[in-house]
Structure 1
Amino acid sequence: MIESIQQFDVDLFLKINRGLSNGFFDWLMPLLRNRFFWSPLYLFIVVFCIVQYKKQGYYIIGMLLFTFALGDLIASRLIKPFVARVRPCNDLSLATDIIHRVPCGSGLSFPSAHATNHFAIAVFLIFVFYSRWKPILPIGIFWAASISFAQVYVGVHYPVDITVGALLGTTIGFATSRIFKTLQPDF
């Protein structure tokens, strides 16, 4: 059973990493997963929350930072060392099959911290702002999913790493949004 899941994961990884290869994705996907690429968005969220919601905006930013920290702690510090799955770009059995589009790094693969963190942030923001701005739902999910997909395309994560990271991040984002709503019931 485990072997068949792992083989499916490798096959799907190669279909994305090699099978979807094209010049536009080769340009776009490394950008989407680059932490600095999204800096203007993060700055906008901070400024928007503070300007629009004053004191409550600081609480939103604080909980957003807590959400990110919790996701990163659980994915990177607790689960990854326990599972110790090698990244596909460092897997010697894939050395001749993989297309390397970004530096691989020496970190572990399961779960994807990028997927965990971005889904946690997206879901937190969705639950906090959905009643005020409905388009945040598809925009937030598309944003987190595109960053997560890029991780597979560039060769640093398997699809299962992304899926579990997305589920973990969704759970964290939901939990922290509930905490926020409990602490700020009038928001």
Structure 2
Amino acid sequence: MIELLQGLDRWLLVAANSRHWHWLDSLMVFLSERFVWFPAYFVMVVVLGYYLQRRALIALPLLGIVIALADSISSRLFKPYFARLRPCHDPELSATLNLVHGCGGQFGFLSSHAANSFALAVFLCIILPRRFRIAKIILFVWAVLISYSRIYLGAHYPSDVAAGATLGSLLAWLAAMAYERLAVRVPVKVSKIHSNA
């Protein structure tokens, strides 16, 4: 059974990595670059501060904590413990992959990109009211695309990404539950938060 799952993992990786176009290569490299998202994060912080008002003083630290936990647990706990080589470092596989953006660290289980992006997306999707449904869809699609880019670039197996997304989502859910408990103690203007919620 384990061999069957490993074979499926490799097959999905090769299927995603083998279809390359120049414009898609550039897009996937862009999606994988963490620093290019800083302006978007700044705008997000400003928007959250405006709509959540004083509750932003709870939400933003929790968001920072959940992302830091997702990154630390994936990078400092899972990767060294499982010591699973990235596909691009696997001598049996690397020669067959299209590596357009280097390879990264030696170990890949689980994906920090997936853990971090899903931690952010799931946390915000839970705490924001229904009026933000379009923003929630965009956040979820963004997290999926970042995670897929890691497979496309040969940096992670699909199972690395799935595990990272699961970790990030679980941590986000726990943080969102903490936010809900703390936020009820902080009153806000009805017109901003609860309208159409």
Q: 1-side partners of 2:107 and 2:150: how far apart?
A: 13
- Structure 2 matches for 1:1-187, cutoff 5 A? 1-18=1-18, 20-185=19-184
* CA distance in structure 1 between the partners assigned to 2:79 and 2:63 by the alignment: 22
Following the alignment from structure 1 to structure 2, what is the Cα–Cα distance between the partners of residues 74 and 95?
26
Conservation of the 8 A alpha-carbon contact between 1:130 and 1:136: no
CA distance in 2, matches of 1:164, 1:95: 22
- CA–CA distance in structure 2, aligned partners of residues 86 and 27 of structure 1: 25
Q: How many angstroms apart in 1 are the aligned matches of 2:50 and 2:132?
A: 17
Q: Structure 1 CA distance, aligned partners of 2:79 and 2:94?
A: 22
- TM score, norm. by length of structure 2: 0.89
Residues 72-130 of structure 1, C-alpha deviations (whole Å, 9 max, x = no match):
12211221111110011111111320111112122410110100110011000001113
Q: Deviations over 1:43-73 (max 9, x none)?
A: 1111222234343223211011011011112
Residue-pair matches, total: 186
Give percent identity, aligned residues only: 35
Unaligned 5+ residue runs, structure 2? 189-197
* Distance across 2 between alignment mates of 1:152 and 1:95: 13
- Asked if the contact 1:49/1:58 (under 8 Å) is kept, the reply is no
Structure 1 counterpart of 2:92, one-letter code: S
Q: In the alignment, residue 70 of structure 1 is paired with which amino acid?
A: L
| CA separation of 1:106 and 1:133: change in aligned 2, threshold 3 A | closer
CA-to-aligned-CA distance 1:117-172 (integer Å, 9 cap, x gap) = 10011000001113341223321210100000001111100111111111111111
Q: Distance in 1 between matches of 2:73 and 2:41?
A: 22
Instruction: Tell whether the 8 Å contact from 1:120 to 1:172 is kept in structure 2 after alignment.
Output: yes
8 A contact 1:129–1:136 mirrored in 2:
no
Unpaired runs of 5+ residues, structure 1, are none
